[in-house]
């Protein structure tokens, strides 16, 4: 049984009320009392506080019935903003969203270096520009959340980023010093799984999200929270060995799963076999549609190795929902069917396996949602997008 003083109980009630206002978009005080189980007096006091803080607004709902029109409560979208960042090997993606989770602006900057100081300056310049852009709002740019394609510990220190060869970088402190903004550092796969939970699968309590882009990362949501492990390093599933003494990996081992089932490895191997460079997803889609023999054979091999790793993950975690985040699989017809046909073990059990609808925007979307959750100090959050993706 949860106990606490009056201030603690008030904080719990506040979190619950904000969560339900976000979830329902617009809701009256009377309906809020029914939804939360709190009495009307508590709702009124909390609503008054949130109105005074400019976190919510009131509006009168039009209706055709006789009687007084209900006053609706909703999140004040212009109270503040959050910035989500996906820091990958060759690019940095930015998404600015208001505190109701709606995107305001998206940008992408290409990287041609792995030098930490250079990238730090790129991030600093962009964050400060967004900060200035949001200065009109009461809470301005409330937080910045950065998804890292590497190992991040529980103190938000970057332990290792294989693609950039970074070791022990305190990007959080470096950026906070240079920008004066609250910075959060998180593993990108964790943010992807959080996005799936917040935007797509609200009711799922046991969700896994696998990202297959420059490497392979696993985000694990158990009972609605991320499973991070003792140091925060859980989910580095791309370095599970699937081929003993196989292809060398930047982690120091050989035969790691991401050398066979990441999109970057597929692109590299297909480019070599086709004797071409700079393959794009559009090129691969055309090759698939034309049933080009080398491409089709390579895809079959790719699905085989992908399925080996998925089988191991399913046996380890017995997920309710297993989401695969992959642009390659989005353009490959019957990808999910082929994967399921390879999962023939009578031991492996899962309820649903699907390719993410959020695609390569999942990380920045999860980052924005994570920033909103921290800013509003809510325990749970459910958001929606009109078209399911950032514009």
Give φ, ψ of 136 to 5 degrees. Answer: -75, -20
pLDDT of residue 64: 58
* Strand 166-169 relative to strand 141-148, pairing: unpaired
User: How far is CA 252 from its chain centroid?
Assistant: 28
| Tens-place pLDDT, residues 351-380 | 899 999 999 899 999 999 999 999 999 988
DSSP label of 52 = H
Mean pLDDT of 142-162: 93
**Calpha distance 17→36 (Å, rounded):** 7
213: its two tokens: 């882009």
**Calpha distance 288→286 (Å, rounded):** 5
Give Cα separations from 78 to 29, 56, 224, 286, 385 (angstroms). 21, 10, 28, 43, 17
- Domains of the chain (ranges, CATH numbers): 6-75 (1.10.10.10), 81-192+361-376 (3.30.420.40), 201-358 (3.30.420.40)
**Calpha distance 10→84 (Å, rounded):** 30
Global confidence as pTM: 0.90
Contact between 116 and 134 under an 8 Å Cβ cutoff? The reply is: no
pLDDT reading at 227 higher than 90: no
> pLDDT band at residue 324, thresholds of 50, 70 and 90?
very high
pLDDT of residue 168: 95
User: Nearest CA to 188 among 311, 68, 80, 93?
Assistant: 93
Helices (H), the chain: 6-24, 29-36, 40-52, 116-133, 171-179, 188-195, 258-261, 263-274, 281-289, 293-317, 327-330, 335-342, 362-376
pLDDT of residue 66: 60
103: its two tokens: 């995107």
């Amino acid at each position: 049984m949860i106990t606490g003083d009056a201030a603690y109980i008030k904080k719990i009630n506040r979190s619950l009320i904000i969560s339900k206002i976000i979830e329902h978009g617009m809701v009256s005080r009377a309906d809020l009392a029914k939804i939360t189980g709190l009495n009307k007096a508590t709702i009124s006091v909390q609503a008054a506080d949130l109105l005074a803080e400019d976190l919510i607004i009131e509006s009168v709902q039009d209706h055709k019935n006789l009687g007084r029109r209900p006053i609706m409560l909703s999140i004040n979208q212009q109270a503040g903003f959050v910035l989500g960042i996906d820091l990958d090997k060759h690019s940095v993606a930015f998404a600015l969203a208001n505190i109701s989770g709606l995107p305001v602006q998206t940008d992408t900057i290409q990287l041609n270096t792995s030098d930490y100081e250079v990238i730090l300056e790129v991030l600093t310049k962009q964050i400060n520009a967004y900060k200035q852009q949001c200065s009109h709002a009461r809470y301005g740019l409330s937080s910045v959340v950065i998804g890292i394609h590497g190992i991040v510990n529980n103190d938000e220190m970057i332990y290792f980023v294989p693609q950039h060869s970074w070791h022990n970088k305190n990007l959080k402190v470096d950026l906070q010093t240079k920008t004066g903004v609250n910075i959060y550092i998180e593993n990108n796969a964790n943010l992807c799984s959080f996005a799936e939970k917040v935007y797509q699968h609200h009711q799922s309590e046991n969700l896994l999200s696998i990202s297959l882009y420059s490497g392979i990362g696993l985000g694990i949501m158990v009972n609605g929270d991320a499973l991070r492990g003792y140091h925060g390093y859980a989910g580095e599933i791309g370095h599970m060995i699937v081929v003993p003494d196989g292809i060398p990996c930047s982690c120091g081992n050989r035969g790691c799963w991401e050398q066979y089932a990441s999109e970057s490895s597929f692109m590299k191997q297909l480019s070599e076999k086709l004797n071409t460079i700079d393959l794009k997803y559009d090129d691969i889609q055309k090759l698939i549609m034309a049933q080009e023999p080398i491409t089709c054979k390579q895809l079959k091999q790719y699905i085989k190795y992908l399925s080996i790793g998925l089988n191991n993950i399913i046996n380890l975690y017995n997920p309710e929902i297993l989401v695969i985040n992959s642009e390659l699989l989005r353009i490959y017809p019957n990808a999910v069917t082929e994967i399921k046909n390879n999962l023939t073990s009578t031991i492996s059990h899962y309820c649903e396996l699907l390719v993410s609808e959020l695609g390569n925007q999942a990380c920045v979307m999860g980052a924005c949602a994570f920033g909103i959750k921290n800013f509003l100090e809510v325990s749970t959050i459910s958001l929606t997008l009109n078209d399911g993706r950032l514009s």
